[in-house]
Structure 1
Amino acid sequence: MDIRPIHTEADYKAALKDIASLMESDPDLGTPEGDRLDILATLVQAYEAKHLPIAPPDPVEAIKFRMEQSGMSVKDLEPIIGKSNRVYEILNRKRPLTLAMIRRLHISLGIPADVLIAETVAG
């Protein structure tokens, strides 16, 4: 079992290729192939965490995503944010979320509070 740390993009791509090949054979846990898959997946995960971090979503994009996911309209957000003009101001980035809105969005829609308190990217 010749497994080395992933230091470069080439190492990363080679590890992904090995993982894909191993996954096709669907090795059992505890077998040499299963152990190799487990180790490679752990190395890839560590490399991705260090070199390819995923940025948290923009608060407005998180709200729009949840609306789309749940089939919600602007009208559905009125009890949470306020009158429809206020909802549009938030969704169009003309007005920032207030603490009370963040709390209600977190409780009502299950959007993580840390996502909602992040800086909104100007649109």
Structure 2
Amino acid sequence: MEIRPIKTEADYEATLKEIEGLMSAEPDSPQGDRLDVLVTLVEAYEREHYPIGFPDPVEAIKFRMEQQGLSVEDLVPVIGRKNRVYEVLARKRPLTLRMIEGLHETFSIPAESLLKHSSNQSNHAA
């Protein structure tokens, strides 16, 4: 089983093609083992060359609202008055540290995503 590191985009494409051919491999078979190793190599390559950043903080809040069936009223205890919630959702008011902590603790929104909001908020408001 000769397997080499993925160093170039051509290596990456060839490995993806090989993985596609191995998708029906039985677990604990030589083909299944090869598939496991190739997938691990692809994941490492993608982590380095195609990193996935955090979502836009307002979109993360809206996604969590949709996911949990939350309304603006549900955000009031964390963000403040209703009009303040609407301002945050419209990107007209930046999140404060207290809001970020509350959203993270109450709704399990990744703090890193919400902190990004503070540094990018001025770009959206301008």
Normalized against structure 1, the TM-score is what? 0.88
- Determine what percentage of the aligned residue pairs are the same residue: 61
Aligned-partner Cα distance in 1 for 2:69–2:17: 38
- Tell me the residue number matched to 1:28: 27
1:24-83 Cα distance to aligned partner (Å, 9 max, x none): 23x222x32122111101110111011000011121111111011111121221111111
Higher helix share: 2
Structure 1 residues 65, 120: CA separation in 2 closer, same or farther (over 3 Å shift)? farther
How many residue pairs match? The answer is: 121
CA drift of 1:10 comes to 2.2
CA drift of 1:92 comes to 0.9
CA drift of 1:4 comes to 2.0
Aligned-partner Cα distance in 1 for 2:120–2:75: 18
> For residues 64-83 of structure 1, what are the structure 2 equivalents within 5 Å?
64-83=62-81
- Tell me the residue number matched to 1:112: 110
Aligned-partner Cα distance in 2 for 1:10–1:68: 40
Aligned-partner Cα distance in 1 for 2:8–2:52: 19
1:95 aligned counterpart, secondary structure: coil
> For residues 90-101 of structure 1, what are the structure 2 equivalents within 5 Å?
90-101=88-99
Query: What amino acid is the match of 2:54?
Result: P
Pairwise CA RMSD:
1.6
Do the aligned residues in 2 keep the contact of 1:93 with 1:120 (CA within 8 Å)? no
Structure 1 residues 33, 21: CA separation in 2 closer, same or farther (over 3 Å shift)? same
Unpaired segments ≥5 residues, structure 2: none
Of structures 1 and 2, the one scoring higher in RCO (CA 8 A, sep 6+) is 1
> For residues 18-57 of structure 1, what are the structure 2 equivalents within 5 Å?
18-25=18-25, 27-29=26-28, 31-57=29-55
2:2 aligned counterpart, secondary structure: coil
Runs of 4+ in structure 1 displaced over 6 angstroms? Answer: none
- Tell me the residue number matched to 1:86: 84
Query: What amino acid is the match of 1:100?
Result: R
